[in-house]
Amino acid sequence: MREIEKLHLWYEENKRPFPWREERTPYRVWISEMMLQQTRASVVIPYFLHWMELFPDVETLAKAPLETVIKTWEGLGYYSRARYLHEGAKQIVEQFGGKIPDSREALSTISGLGSYTVGALLSFGFGKKVPAVDGNVARVLSRYFAIEENISKAKVRRTIEEKAALFLDDQEPWITAEALIELGASVCLRKPRCIECPLRDGCQALSKGIAESLPIKNIPVPITILRRAVAVVESQGRFLVQKGEVGKVMADLYEFPYFEMEGHTWTPREMEIETMRQLGFKVEWVKTLEETSHTFTRFKAHLLPFLLKTEGRELGGTWVEKENLLQLPFSSGHRKIAGRIILHADSFLNFCGHHSGPSLNDRSSPILRQYGPSCDCSNPDHSEAAKIQESTREQYI
């Protein structure tokens, strides 16, 4: 049995049941391939299904507001992919009558389509004999052909693509292309499971005993750690947010204002001072919330949220009611903060007797015992509560 036949047989017996493998169309292939970049397939499944409900075809996607597209993408990361899809859909409608073209030359003019995605579209979407070389395939073929050169180099990458093209079956090339991806994702891993591989008899790296040392790649860029103080500012039931500028990493995503902490973790007073300096209005600390984090590109940001309050109706910026926060597309770390605010803001903010929260003198209140009051009114009955509040400041809860 030929190697390709072994590979096809293995694929039919072991392929994972993904929704984008059902009812293949160029549009569904395009969406799934963009989502699968830098993202695990198991994570993509619910996003893909939801996307196809909202944007079932190119025309619907092209007509959708960008903010709706970004919101639908929320949580997948690398948001430029969503912007490319939206812009690409508009291009396809305007330049190709709403039909995804089936030539490499035309596809290469569409926003966000690189060599791999073009190959995947031609192979999986149109059934053409075209290689689709992603990281999984590059790993498989660098081992199969024992390519002992840095696969990050353009010349070596071209060599792998040429070998991939020759490896494809004449009758069902798309099956070979998909099987190579599946093999790399499930068997030919960083630590290869060679005993399970249908290509082990012809694998040159295995025969040389160097499978685990391949492929050779560039040393990964180290992750940079960021520590940020997040200003969750409330005024009359609304919260201040800001939208990422075009061209920035978080473009079109909403976040709470934040400041870089250098050297040490800020105290509530430091946060009050910096917020007043940066935003231009007076704030008062209410509570320091639980730290969270999120990772993007080569950074990991640790976010320390400070719940602050201010007064006034003429404040600048974008102020959003609590119930509407999660209708906006947030970056992942700030979305976690927004979710906590929606669940707990009333508990954190409404302690004064003339508000809807528990009485400040109700020592049985679990909310009061845990968080302390946030009232700044002049009622003398609140003097004891003020002492409790001061003690909670010291604990940074």
Catalytic residues: 33
Nearest to 373 by CA among 155, 115, 384: 384
End-to-end C-alpha distance for the chain, whole angstroms: 67
**Cα 317 to Cα 236: distance, rounded to the nearest angstrom:** 14
Q: Using CA of residue 351, residue 352, residue 357, residue 359, what is the dihedral sign?
A: positive
Structure tokens at 195: 């005993």
Question: Do the beta carbons of residue 188 and residue 143 sit within 8 Å?
Answer: yes
Rounded distance between C-alpha atoms, residue 156 and residue 149, angstroms: 7
**Whole-Å CA distances, 282 to 76, 316, 322:** 36, 13, 21
Q: Is 265 helix (H, G, I), strand (E, B) or coil?
A: coil
CB neighbours of residue 332 within 10 Å: 17
Pairwise CA distance, residues 207 & 191, whole Å: 16
